[in-house]
Chain A
Amino acid sequence: MRPAVRCFGLAAPLLLAASVAHGIEQGEPRSGIAFASPETRAMQADDTANPGLFWVLDGEQLWAKREGAAQKSCGDCHGAASASMKGIAARYPAFDDKTGQAVDLTGRINLCRTRHQQATPLPHEGKEMLALTAFVGFQSRGLPMAPPADPRLAPARAQGEALFTQRMGQLDLSCANCHEANWQGRLGGSPITQGQSNAYPLYRLEWQGLGSLQRRMRACMVGVRAEPFDYGAPEFVALEAFLATRAKGLPVETPGVRP
């Protein structure tokens, strides 16, 4: 079943014509939480009210669970996540030597599963994968996004930037048309935001659950009536690599809360 199309698309060309283009000034990225209502901000800030913490707690259990033919848990190699995973999510996507490609956190967890645990990869948007990425991301909460200065990531970042500015879909809109040129505006009553990637995976009230950055990007692609890439597609990893450089310096908020 295709995800439901949100009907905000029609207003977009009118809005683009009416508003002045504001590029994001250098060194001034703004997290999506800055655009949220005070209630949503309070929900994210309070660990007893943030439903994303349920996934973090599940992830903590999965971290210690022995899996696969090797009967190893994440903790058997990495030790306590509070020490070994601190700052990791802030640095992803990173370059994987063996495959010679950029990998995001989800991809890295599945590589760990197949290489070291000899287990089957987890489905991208499944509860277990979201719990693990939320738990690993949670260890970096509050730390600034710090994409590594790895020249091998340059091709992926360049591809991501090209995709970010490439018009697509029946509405012929690029990510940048909204999230660079019109992030101060509103669309269908909702703030557009800069499309920053520092709070994923996050709890979206509309989803009634936790979702990954790729789910968010797929929803945007469906919104402009483009054919979304598959989960885990290299295009999405490239976009994530570019978005990480764009969000540099913003604090990691995992698990964020958004409307």
Chain B
Amino acid sequence: MPRTLINVPKTAKAGEIVEVRAMIAHPMETGQRMGVNGAMIPRDIVNRFVCTYGSEVVFAADLWPAVSANPFLSFSLRAKEAGVITFSWTEDSGAVHVATADITVT
């Protein structure tokens, strides 16, 4: 299971805009490179990232082979209510890696 590093402020004021960061350890193999034996290294990338806040999707992105290894995403969201922020990365193989963080809104 790849490692993930996420950064969400623990607390925020209602209505405050907070910055959220998420990074996953992933080779993002493009499928265009040749291995030592001359055979192509099969494509293996994270192709979809989704962030949900409570039950609402607040940020989503399609990722493509030109995205670097260990993709890092940073975005803002408005703190509305205390809840769970869920980050999910979907690989080409269909495997989904999920990380969660709690946020308290005062």
Alpha-carbon gap, A48 to B21, bound state (A): 7
A-B contact count (CB 8 A): 29
Q: Is residue B39 within 8 Å, beta carbon to beta carbon, of the partner chain?
A: no
Alpha-carbon gap, A54 to B74, bound state (A): 17
Of the residues B3, B6, B23, contact of A58 by C-beta under 8 Å: B3
A149 nearest CB across to chain B (Å): 39
How many residues on the A side are at the interface (Cβ–Cβ under 8 A)? 11
If over half of A's interface residues share one DSSP class (helix, strand or loop), that class is named, otherwise mixed; here it is: loop
Alpha-carbon gap, A54 to B7, bound state (A): 14
With A58-B3, A208-B69 given, is the CB distance from A51 to B23 under 8 Å? yes
Residues of A35-53 contacting chain B, CB below 8 A: 48-49, 51, 53
Alpha-carbon gap, A49 to B68, bound state (A): 13
Indicate if the CB atoms of A51 and B7 lie closer than 8 Å: no
Alpha-carbon gap, A57 to B70, bound state (A): 14
Most B CB within 10 A of own CB, among A48, A53, A205, A209: A48
Indicate if the CB atoms of B69 and A209 lie closer than 8 Å: yes
Indicate if the CB atoms of B3 and A57 lie closer than 8 Å: yes
Alpha-carbon gap, A131 to B28, bound state (A): 19
Q: Is residue B64 within 8 Å, beta carbon to beta carbon, of the partner chain?
A: no
A11 nearest CB across to chain B (Å): 26
Which partner residue on chain B sits nearest A48 by CB separation? B7
Contacts A48-B23, A49-B21, A208-B68 supplied; 7 other A-B pairs, CB < 8 Å: A48-B5, A48-B21, A49-B74, A51-B23, A51-B25, A51-B72, A57-B3
Q: Interface residues, chain B, CB within 8 Å of chain A?
A: 3, 5-7, 21, 23, 25, 27-28, 36, 68-70, 72, 74
Q: Interface residues, chain A, CB within 8 Å of chain B?
A: 1, 48-49, 51, 53-54, 57-58, 205, 208-209
